[in-house]
Amino acid sequence: MEVGKKTDTIAAIATAIGSSGIGIVRISGSEAIQVADRVFEGKKSEKHLYDVKSHTIHYGVVKENGVVLDEVLALVMRGPHSYTGEDTVELDCHGGIYVTKRILEAVIRAGAEPAEPGEFTKRAFLNGRMDLSQAEAVMDIIHAKNEFAMRSSVRQLKGSVSDKVRKLREDILYQVAYVESALDDPEYVSLDGYGEELRRILNPLIVEIRDLIVSADNGRMFSEGIRTVILGKPNVGKSSLMNVLLGEDRAIVTDIAGTTRDVLEEQIRLGDMYLRLIDTAGIRDTEDVVEKIGVSRAREAAENADLILYVADSACGLDENDEDIIKWIKGRKAVVLLNKSDLKSVVDRVELEKRTEHPVVVISAKEKTGMKELEHIMRELFFQGKFGEDDSVVITNVRHKAALEAALGGLEMVMEGIDNGIPEDFLTIDLMDAYGRLGTIIGESVGDDLIDEIFGRFCTGK
């Protein structure tokens, strides 16, 4: 093969660019081993890499034009038993920025093409090494921000979502095949009473899909953190509470009302829960132009919150600003925090719980008390005391949720058709629509544009 000629063999740096103990240059494609052989020279043997056994490691150097670039380990993996399903070589070198780039440049000059973002995983998908949901789980693992997100992504990579979707599709397809068999051979396959039988079969599938859709909201909160907004009138201890939860003095705390003028967001861990914690300006009527903007932003943040922590001052009592907040949080997921328990209280906890229709926790941000009770109540609100402790399938991908909703719509159309006495062959249209929508989750019936868009979000080298 002529060196420099465009091939299907790609190469990229597979480790983060920076000073580190090791750097990896990954090569994949039909000519991967030959390309690597052009720059690799073994230290203990004259044997070429294309003569060695698969899944073996070889010590040597990378050379270009007779100049040694670095000492390396060459890992050889022959397809289809590699990440991409193709012949793959990884050159493990020292982790400096310059040396890894020089080795990559040498590999490209030896006949490889620079890999596009996500191209290695894209090839793994196209070569049947994983389905689309598993490929997306690879990127989710890379971007995981907490333990649950990582565990959930690993389960998806192992096929938890794929297995569930394939079983749903199998059950739907069987019904389509049954109807078509009956239409082709009515003497042997009868459709008498089939509508009610189909209804009985689809009911549990619909429940299953609905449960998966509902899990998506919890899945988002698990992986990204519960969007939690601290709300209250000025000077009730919102910023002090945020500092306690953060374990550091991040928010400015003074005795002057209206100190916080803007929205301050941090990600924290409370026990085994993860919160996207947002401190806001005090809610009150004010003529101050800047403070008005802060109040407006506070309300906007609360509108999009998964949870509101409404902080009330137990020592000063409630006023018209509190009354407005109490009305506003009705029907929303919220916990009322009765702060300043280190001082004499003038607010009755039981009465406040009745008025707000939300759980009330007595705390002292100053003394750092009440946090365990707050954690317990939050666990009950969101996870019924559990936090991703079982192996149930949780949807964390927005695209998957949209596909499930579309599939659910198709099955509900089938149920409506049964109610209206629609002929069975027409019912198969919506059944096949649901089947196809579910297929997009695992990568069947998807266009090249969507595939390119998904893998374009990956980092180069993965």
Residues 301 and 293: their CA atoms lie apart, in Å, by 12
Query: Where is average pLDDT lowest: 39-43, 92-96, 319-323?
Result: 319-323
pLDDT, mean of residues 92-119? 93
Amino acid, res. 212 = L
Residues 181 and 184: their CA atoms lie apart, in Å, by 5
Quick one: tokens of 37? 């052989």
Percent share of the chain, pLDDT over 90: 38
Give Cβ neighbours of residue 359 (< 8 Å, ≥ 6 apart): 335, 336, 353, 377, 381
| pLDDT of 217 over the 80 cut | no
Percent share of the chain, pLDDT over 70: 86
**Per-residue model confidence (pLDDT) at position 238:** 79
Give Cβ neighbours of residue 297 (< 8 Å, ≥ 6 apart): 262, 263, 280, 281
CA angle, corner 337, sides to 388 and 302, nearest 5?
70
**Per-residue model confidence (pLDDT) at position 45:** 66
The Cα-based distances of 105 to 15, 100, 113, 281, 341 in angstroms read 15, 9, 10, 53, 65
pLDDT, mean of residues 145-172? 86
pLDDT, mean of residues 97-121? 94
Quick one: tokens of 263? 């929205």
> What domains are there in the chain, each with its CATH number?
10-115 (3.30.1360.120), 147-220+397-456 (1.20.120.430), 225-383 (3.40.50.300)
Query: Does the N-terminal peptide bond of residue 359 adopt cis geometry, omega within 30 degrees of 0?
Result: no
**Taking all residues of the chain, what is their mean pLDDT, rounded to a whole number?**
83
| pLDDT of 433 over the 90 cut | yes
pLDDT tens-digit profile of 15-45? 887 778 899 999 999 999 999 999 999 987 6
Q: How confident is the model at residue 3 (pLDDT cuts 50, 70, 90)?
A: very low
Transcribe 358-369 into DSSP letters. S-EEE-BTTTTB
**Per-residue model confidence (pLDDT) at position 248:** 55
